[in-house]
Amino acid sequence: MSFLVSNDRDELVKNIRVVVCEQSHVIIEFVSLMIEKERITKKKSIRFQEKIKQNGNKKEKKKKKKKKKKKKKKKRSKRRRETKMELSSHNILKRNLRKSKEFGEKRKRREKANNIFTI
């Protein structure tokens, strides 16, 4: 039981005739099923190619995602802004005071140390 499987339909038909002469009808059915399967796969591949042409490749489509919209900042009231500015300026003043105190303490410590060494 030897027969060729080929892409050419005419050649397959010739092989079927040879098989008819040599073997029983079961082999003929098998070969005819192979032909049917080949025809179906060709149809599917053609349909698939058409879909790709229409819709574009799915992997390429996934890359093109919608950009997220940026949230608009809410406009704050003028009064709130003014109070916030006052608070921030107050905090800056407090921080500067703290730094000046620390700096003054450091200066005093340095002077004490110098006095000890000079005596």
Give the pLDDT confidence of 58-103 residue by residue, as tens digits.
555 566 677 788 888 777 677 776 767 777 777 888 888 888 877 7
Three-point CA angle 95, 101, 104, nearest 5°: 140
Three-point CA angle 12, 2, 21, nearest 5°: 70
0.85 surpassed by pTM: no
| One-letter amino acid of 91 | N
Residue with tokens 């500067």: 96
